[in-house]
Structure 1
Amino acid sequence: MKDIYKLFMSYLMEHKDDPLSRDVVFNLPYQLLRSENGVSVLRKRGAFFSGDNLVDFLLRDVPIVKAGIYDPAAGCGDLLLRYLDKLELAASFRETMQEWESIVFAAELEPSFVKLLKLRIWLLLCLKYHVVTKLGELVIPDLKKRFAGVVCRDAFKYLPETMPTIVIMNPPFQQVDSKSIYSWGTGKVSYAAIFLYEMYKRFPKSRILAILPDVLRSGSRYEKLRTTVAPDLESAVRVYGRFDKKTDIDVFVLDHRPDMRQRVLRNVGRKQGRMICHDFDVHVGSVVPHRDTLKGRSCYFLTADNVPPGSNIIRVKEKTKSVHKPVKGPFVVLRRTSSPSDKIRCVSSIVSSSHDFHLDNHLIYLKPRGHKSELKLCQDVCKFFSSQECSDIVSRLIRCRHLTVRIIRNLTYKGGK
């Protein structure tokens, strides 16, 4: 990744007649980062800036106080700067700088990001106190020894000098190998999950403000993490939606206040009533094409391509062999791929015959639990799936591009009575 500090300094030198503005302080670094580095590079490094809209959403109803604040995944300081921007100023530039130096803590592994973060804090103060009018008038001091709490360190090996009142973070979202110490995750996990777990354990008395990928809130693979954290993590969760126009990932914001008495890392918006799991066994299709060996019993084979939405299926042309146990109709089929932008989140069909079927793993199926009128039960739940009420509930519960068994099992509907 290209040195963002050098790019930023070059811009200041080449635009000496331009005014020192909020755009230079807040927006220019991300513009330079985007223009000089491809999306794949940024994704690999987890280098995505928060932006005004998302930060305003995060900080809504959060009292801005002059107290220790720590960003363990600081990057170039986009999130941290927007918090500082809301602080009440002291009488002079020097006094405010001294105050900020005593309360601001940040950790970041990329040296150029750390250098730019310190510079941006200084530039923000210059902007607020109208120190200069043009970029060419800036006399940038040696900032190496200033803001000692802003360090080029691994966040998991750094502890601020004073316990922070607020931990604020937009951690990287990329997948990393889970270590054995994290009993809640195996294989590849989101780096954001590790940051959430570590910050919660390290700072139990701090208010934790975080921007996190929706999969942590709704994905089945993070259920153990939520079970581990949620009983003690008294938190508030609000769904935001897509990170920004250029980043196709949905996020939520977390505001953990130690004094709160609500547990909402679990499903939000769940109504009391009969859940789908009371009437159906819910599973993902067991056949993985191009990986499974063509052995076992030959049965009709259902895929996302040969199951038309809203259809009533008796048989299909395709067949396949599989060692997995087939599913006997009647049952309901759902497409796993589902986006919050879709008009209907749960696209369903009914397999009404009593034939045996193998199912592709891009499908979820609901098999009635010994109900006297299995076909009627399937029709009731499909009617619910096609409703706006269902789509609204699912969009609140999960913003990922794939539905999960856990989400479907726990939905409530009018049926099965």
Structure 2
Amino acid sequence: MSIAAYGTYARQLETLVTDVASGHWRRVADDVAHALNGQASAELRRTVSRADRRAAGSFFTTGEVRQSYEELLDRSAVSGRTLVIWDPTCGAGDLLIAGTGQFPLGATPAETLTLWNRRVRGHDLYDPFVTVARMRLVLAVLDRHRAVGSDAPLKEHRWRTAFPLLQVGDGLQALREASEGRGFGGRLLLNPPYGMDTALPGCTWSTGRTSLAATFTAHASAALAPGGRLFAVLPDVLRSGSRYRAWRDQLAERLEMEEIRPHGLFDDHTDVDVFLLSAIRRSRGHAGAVAWWPPAAVTTDSTIGDHFRIGVGPVVDNRDPHDGPEVPYLTAKELPGQGEMGLPLRSRRFGGRLIDPPFVVMRRTSRPGQGARGGARGTGVLIQGAQPVAVDNHLIVAEPLASGVTRCRELLKVLDGPKVVHWLDERIRCRHLTVTVVRSLPWG
């Protein structure tokens, strides 16, 4: 199974367009509604394996995230006469359909295509996706005309040649070419691949394997001309992860942020939390601080980092040699959901840094709204005992700066409180807590 299997759905849409363009609405109206609302994504899941979808980075923007995206577009002022939109990773065209929602119609579907053809631009690496995107845009035109009572037959050569600027091609390369030219001054719509790849030569904010979504967004920001706008759906790790601080700084230098809004899960089939971004390209440099997190997630009073030394457990079990003294070894598997425990029964040889009890550990793996084994998200466990402990790197360690067990028990109450749970869900929605985030948690 491969992306080519999606070509069957592309041919089905061409048949549907043939019927609708001929005016045969009565028997296909429901089919059009499905084609414009979620069917393209469902057919992708049905015809293309998850492994192939992940390899291609193909997750179409549908359902609630598309509704939120449309609201984002609606809140941004637009000139209907001059607007041009471009999606460099267009997939099945969901963002382009959302982007044309503010386009004015002509007197007939044919006249609308004449008005829109040069104002809709898109790229994708896969021919079936581009075909599906073009057919869905044609259906969107025909559906809007029917809704206002100005539908008319559309000749086949008109819809088959519609939207010529939707092309099979490398959207990242197209962005790079735009940044080297005059830049793109319209609306750049973006739901990039969410996989990982090697950072490109010349990248100043990352090295080695990095987020493709970050790479696309960085090049999109560079491709905009002053006044051009970016509207993006991005994985939340870019907003909240410590690793992407330099990426955020680079975007802030180029873009004036209009809205940064956490959304939650991309959809029921994709276990990735995302956020929505709208921004405008500056004509000059960075103008001030950017609020990447809601006000509730910005700490101004005392923080956990004022009372504890925060770090990641020193043991990388599959990499660190088993030499040195035999010591108690703490992993996430031994932890209860919350509360206190003594020294772990597991042990290993370890010659690196050991941690003296009492201390508190938190699981690094975390998802919004829930914790492990009945605990709240971010719940800690107090470790006590008379021996130093080797702690696995899947745990975050909080060592008290003073007051020992008393301060650790105070921390357990803080971590289990609703204020911290809400703060974490606002501040970081990716799957791993970070030292920076834990250090910044509000105290008391």
* TM-score of the aligned structures, taking structure 1 as reference length: 0.89
Aligned position for 1:107:
123
- Provide the rounded CA distance (Å) in 2 between the counterparts of 1:45 and 1:114: 14
- TM-fit CA distance, 1:58: 2.1
Measured against aligned partners, the alpha-carbon deviations of 1:51-103 in whole angstroms (never above 9, x if no partner) come to: 14212212322345420111111112111112213433233323321221232
- TM-fit CA distance, 1:12: 5.5
Aligned position for 2:229:
207
- Provide the rounded CA distance (Å) in 2 between the counterparts of 1:165 and 1:262: 25
Equivalent pair of 2:358/2:399 in contact (CA under 8 Å): yes
- Provide the rounded CA distance (Å) in 1 between the counterparts of 2:145 and 2:336: 63
- Provide the rounded CA distance (Å) in 1 between the counterparts of 2:39 and 2:341: 55
- Provide the rounded CA distance (Å) in 2 between the counterparts of 1:322 and 1:180: 38
- Please tell me the residue identity of whatever aligns with 1:240: H
Task: State the SS of the aligned residue for 1:356.
Answer: coil
Aligned position for 2:211:
190
- TM-fit CA distance, 1:36: 0.9
Give % identity.
Answer: 26
Aligned position for 1:18:
28
The 1:204/1:365 distance shift into structure 2, 3 A limit, reads: farther
Measured against aligned partners, the alpha-carbon deviations of 1:21-70 in whole angstroms (never above 9, x if no partner) come to: 22223433222222111222111111111114212212322345420111
Task: Please point out which of 270, 292, 297 is paired with 1:265.
Answer: 292
Aligned position for 2:263:
240
Q: Does structure 1 residue 51 correspond to structure 2 residue 62? A: yes
- Provide the rounded CA distance (Å) in 1 between the counterparts of 2:413 and 2:225: 45
- Provide the rounded CA distance (Å) in 2 between the counterparts of 1:379 and 1:86: 56
- TM-fit CA distance, 1:198: 0.6
The 1:62/1:198 distance shift into structure 2, 3 A limit, reads: same
- TM-fit CA distance, 1:253: 0.6
- Give unmatched runs, 5+ long, in structure 2: 20-26
Task: Please point out which of 307, 321, 336 is paired with 1:279.
Answer: 307
- Please tell me the residue identity of whatever aligns with 1:114: V
Measured against aligned partners, the alpha-carbon deviations of 1:183-242 in whole angstroms (never above 9, x if no partner) come to: 322222221010111111221532111000111111222222123323443322111101
Equivalent pair of 1:64/1:83 in contact (CA under 8 Å): no
- Provide the rounded CA distance (Å) in 2 between the counterparts of 1:300 and 1:267: 41
- Give unmatched runs, 5+ long, in structure 1: none
Equivalent pair of 1:68/1:163 in contact (CA under 8 Å): no
- Please tell me the residue identity of whatever aligns with 1:363: L
Aligned position for 2:22:
none
- Provide the rounded CA distance (Å) in 1 between the counterparts of 2:105 and 2:154: 21
Task: State the SS of the aligned residue for 2:255.
Answer: coil
* TM-score of the aligned structures, taking structure 2 as reference length: 0.84
Q: Does structure 1 residue 8 correspond to structure 2 residue 10? A: yes
Task: Please point out which of 71, 81, 98 is paired with 2:97.
Answer: 81
The 1:264/1:315 distance shift into structure 2, 3 A limit, reads: same
Task: State the SS of the aligned residue for 1:148.
Answer: coil
Equivalent pair of 1:230/1:265 in contact (CA under 8 Å): no
Within 5 Å, give how 1:3-402 maps onto structure 2: 3-10=5-12, 13=15, 17-19=27-29, 21-60=32-71, 61-63=75-77, 65-66=79-80, 67-130=83-146, 140-141=156-157, 146-158=162-174, 163-203=184-224, 205=226, 206-235=228-257, 236-258=259-281, 263-265=290-292, 269-342=297-370, 344-369=376-401, 371=402, 373-402=403-432
- Please tell me the residue identity of whatever aligns with 1:241: G
The 1:351/1:304 distance shift into structure 2, 3 A limit, reads: same
- Provide the rounded CA distance (Å) in 1 between the counterparts of 2:246 and 2:289: 19
Task: State the SS of the aligned residue for 1:239.
Answer: strand
Q: Does structure 1 residue 410 correspond to structure 2 residue 440? A: yes
Equivalent pair of 1:163/1:203 in contact (CA under 8 Å): yes
Task: State the SS of the aligned residue for 1:141.
Answer: helix
- Please tell me the residue identity of whatever aligns with 1:255: S
- Provide the rounded CA distance (Å) in 1 between the counterparts of 2:93 and 2:184: 20
Aligned position for 2:24:
none
- Please tell me the residue identity of whatever aligns with 2:76: V
The 1:72/1:218 distance shift into structure 2, 3 A limit, reads: same
- Provide the rounded CA distance (Å) in 2 between the counterparts of 1:140 and 1:34: 30
More helix by share: 2
- Provide the rounded CA distance (Å) in 1 between the counterparts of 2:321 and 2:160: 60
- Provide the rounded CA distance (Å) in 1 between the counterparts of 2:410 and 2:59: 44
The 1:316/1:33 distance shift into structure 2, 3 A limit, reads: closer
Task: State the SS of the aligned residue for 2:333.
Answer: coil
Task: State the SS of the aligned residue for 2:104.
Answer: coil
Equivalent pair of 1:8/1:32 in contact (CA under 8 Å): no
The 1:349/1:28 distance shift into structure 2, 3 A limit, reads: closer
- Please tell me the residue identity of whatever aligns with 1:216: L
Aligned-CA RMSD value: 2.7
